[in-house]
């Protein structure tokens, strides 16, 4: 709360800063245009200025494996080299999803809000980041002032200053809010893309707020004083509410609740601390519903902790606590065991058994992985994934659509047994519009065409995703490869072409050389093509898939359709245009 407001008495005038506010976003104290801009160089998700006259909150994850807290601010030596503007425009604040500034204790009345921008992040041609597209919306006092705002377009390039004035009215609460929000548009971080593209959220260089009226005179009337005092109390309560939301006042809850794992109990705070407060360096997997972190506790015990994405729909978060007992009851050799969870306010955690080898994504595609996957390991992983899905689809009283089958959600234990994670979340968090949750292009590749086109997710959508993963496992190739200024390459397109020519065996990973079972490889590849049939009704059930993998049935005995007779490449080519949005 603003102390200036609290200390008002009839014989005192309010400090002149209560009718103005100047913030150098991401930088230190500076003077620009004759005004003193306050420093704003914190790297936390929430910050309150020393004088309590303003604060900011930031939410979301950048989605990069390399980003750290310093990525919330960026400073360049001479991006915008105008001597008068250098100190303001060359420092910026970034936020992955939602950035809100709060001005407290302002006089009631009309103001001019000036926002300063310069694109100093997407500006290098060496790492192709200059091809990045940053798009976000700006709201002032809850009203949208800018829609689909692109700094580079408005300023006609990178490292160029752009500013604009906006009217704003501050009411009896004496509170001003300026909200920057990324609505899932613009560039996204994808596999093997420049790391800078993960820094794709809202960006702002400076904020100035000036009153359109004069404040002065010999004193304030009793009604003005009463209004200021009431507004101060309201601002204090609002600030406390946002501090609670950002977790700064939730310590008692985080210390009092209990998360149970076999033989031990931990508080949510202990779990959070064990992930190093969700450090990107502790990330071991995840998908469109959240990120999975390694948690190493003081006694050296390790757990896997999924932090549900802040972008997931609120209704699902509200229902999560009630679903945890049901999800804990799911026990199968090919599922990661869920031990417990925590769900409160904007923090939602699921605690799983730790898998020593990490994700299939890491084992298959990360160059620094030490996990070697020979043919036997790959075939067993395919069979394990199928058995896990059969259990979810066909063996429980309550049937479960996984809805997020991709290598980052398939974990491996020490013996390389495949185990599905993040099961049971699709019914909680799926949106009517899949693009609300499937923002990353690499996640869209695994989704069935009918789902990407807006239809309800079904068991057969899981089968489709399973088919894409099979192709990746056999080929050792990512399902989609995006290169700046080039057409994207899709593994499924290549598989369809080779399948039509009778040469699908050429997809087998060259790293295996001749050390693989050709018969098994052909079975897996042809099964994959069955699973990615454009028609959901012609995809096999997982029990049928298993019967083929274990040699009980032939492929031509398990479904009515023949994937080779369908122009999969043509349909997927159409869908690929959706994937590149």
Is 254 part of a structural domain of the chain? no
Query: Which one-letter DSSP state was computed for residue 273?
Result: H
Let me know whether 109 and 202 are in one domain: yes
Let me know whether 23 and 122 are in one domain: yes
In this prediction, residue 75 carries a pLDDT of 59
Query: Which one-letter DSSP state was computed for residue 393?
Result: I
Give the residues across from 570 on adjacent strands. none
Let me know whether 334 and 418 are in one domain: yes
Distance, in Å, from the CA atom of 401 to the CA atom of 125, rounded to the nearest integer, reads 43
Please count the structural domains in the chain: 2
Whether 166 shows a pLDDT value over 70: the answer reads yes
Let me know whether 439 and 412 are in one domain: yes
Is 255 part of a structural domain of the chain? no
Over residues 410-425, the pLDDT tens digits come to 999 999 999 998 887 7
* More confidently predicted of 248 and 289: 289
Among 159-163, 255-259, 445-449, 570-574, the range with the most confident prediction by mean pLDDT is 159-163
Over residues 66-100, the pLDDT tens digits come to 334 456 676 554 455 554 556 688 888 988 888 99
In this prediction, residue 193 carries a pLDDT of 46
In this prediction, residue 480 carries a pLDDT of 85
Q: Which domain holds residue 9?
A: 3-245
Let me know whether 280 and 359 are in one domain: yes
Strand 35-40 and strand 20-25: the pairing is parallel
Tell me the mean pLDDT in the region 305-315: 66
Distance, in Å, from the CA atom of 88 to the CA atom of 32, rounded to the nearest integer, reads 7
Cα dihedral value 359, 363, 368, 372, nearest 10: 140
Query: End of a domain among 245, 269, 296?
Result: 245
Let me know whether 317 and 272 are in one domain: yes
Q: How many CB atoms lie within 10 A of CB 50?
A: 7
Positive or negative torsion for Cα 308, 182, 46, 141 = negative
Residue from 449, 495, 506, 489 nearest 470 by CA:
495
Over residues 373-409, the pLDDT tens digits come to 999 999 999 999 999 999 999 987 778 888 889 998 9
* More confidently predicted of 481 and 196: 481
Structure tokens given for 452: 């990407």
Let me know whether 326 and 363 are in one domain: yes
307 is in an annotated binding site: yes
Distance, in Å, from the CA atom of 124 to the CA atom of 66, rounded to the nearest integer, reads 18
Q: How many CB atoms lie within 10 A of CB 443?
A: 22
Structure tokens given for 77: 């030596």
Kindly state the percentage of the chain with pLDDT values over 70.
71
Q: Rounded to the nearest 5 degrees, what angle is found at the Cα of 337, between the Cα atoms of 336 and 343?
A: 105
């Amino acid at each position: 709360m603003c102390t200036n407001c609290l200390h008002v008495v009839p014989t005192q005038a309010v400090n002149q800063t209560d009718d103005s506010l100047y913030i150098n976003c991401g930088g230190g104290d500076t003077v620009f245009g004759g005004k003193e801009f306050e420093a704003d160089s914190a790297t936390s998700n929430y910050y309150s200025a020393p004088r309590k006259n303003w604060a900011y909150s930031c939410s979301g994850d950048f989605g990069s494996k390399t980003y750290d807290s310093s990525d919330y601010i960026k400073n360049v030596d001479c991006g915008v080299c105008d001597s008068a503007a250098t100190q303001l425009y060359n420092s910026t604040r970034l936020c992955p999803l939602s950035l809100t500034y709060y001005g407290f204790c302002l006089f009631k009345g009309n103001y001019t809000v000036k926002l300063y921008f310069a694109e100093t992040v997407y500006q290098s041609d060496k790492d192709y980041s200059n091809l990045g597209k940053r798009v976000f919306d700006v709201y002032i006092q809850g009203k949208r002032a800018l829609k689909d705002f692109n700094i580079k377009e408005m300023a006609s390039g990178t490292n160029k200053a752009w500013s604009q004035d906006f009217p704003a009215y501050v009411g009896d609460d004496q509170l001003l809010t300026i909200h920057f929000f990324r609505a899932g548009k613009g560039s996204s971080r994808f596999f093997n893309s420049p790391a800078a593209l993960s820094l794709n959220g809202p960006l702002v260089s400076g904020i100035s707020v000036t009153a359109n009226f004069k404040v002065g005179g010999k004193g304030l009337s009793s009604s003005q004083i009463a209004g200021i005092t009431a507004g101060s109390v309201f601002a204090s309560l609002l600030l406390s509410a946002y501090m609670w939301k950002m977790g700064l006042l939730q310590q008692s809850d985080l210390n009092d609740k209990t998360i149970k794992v076999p033989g031990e109990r931990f508080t949510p705070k202990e779990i959070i601390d064990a992930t190093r407060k969700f450090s990107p360096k502790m990330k071991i997997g995840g998908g469109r519903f959240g990120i999975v972190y390694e948690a190493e506790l003081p006694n050296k015990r390790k757990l896997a902790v999924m932090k549900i994405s802040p972008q997931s729909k609120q209704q699902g978060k509200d229902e999560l606590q009630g679903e945890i007992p049901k999800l804990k009851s799911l026990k199968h050799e090919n599922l990661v065991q869920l031990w417990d969870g925590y769900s409160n306010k904007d923090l939602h955690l699921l605690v799983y058994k730790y898998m020593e080898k990490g994700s299939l994504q890491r084992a298959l595609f990360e160059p620094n992985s030490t996990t070697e996957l020979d043919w036997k390991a790959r075939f067993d992983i395919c069979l394990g994934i199928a058995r896990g899905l059969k259990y979810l689809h066909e063996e429980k009283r309550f049937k479960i659509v996984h809805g997020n089958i991709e290598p980052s959600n398939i974990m491996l234990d020490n013996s390389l047994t495949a185990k599905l994670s993040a099961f049971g979340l699709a019914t909680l968090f799926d949106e009517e519009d899949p693009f609300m949750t499937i923002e990353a292009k690499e996640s869209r590749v695994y989704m069935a065409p009918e789902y990407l086109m807006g239809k309800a997710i079904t068991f057969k959508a899981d089968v489709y995703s399973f088919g894409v993963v099979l192709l990746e496992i056999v080929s050792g190739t990512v399902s989609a490869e995006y290169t700046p200024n080039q057409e994207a390459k899709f593994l499924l397109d290549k598989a369809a072409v080779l399948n039509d020519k009778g040469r699908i065996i050429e997809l087998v990973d060259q790293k295996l050389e001749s050390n693989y079972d050709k018969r098994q490889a052909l079975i897996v590849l042809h099964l994959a093509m069955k699973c990615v049939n454009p028609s959901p009704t012609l995809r096999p059930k997982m029990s049928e898939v298993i019967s083929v993998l274990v040699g009980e049935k032939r492929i031509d005995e398990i479904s009515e359709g023949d994937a080779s007779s369908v122009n999969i490449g043509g349909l997927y080519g159409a869908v690929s245009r959706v994937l590149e949005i």
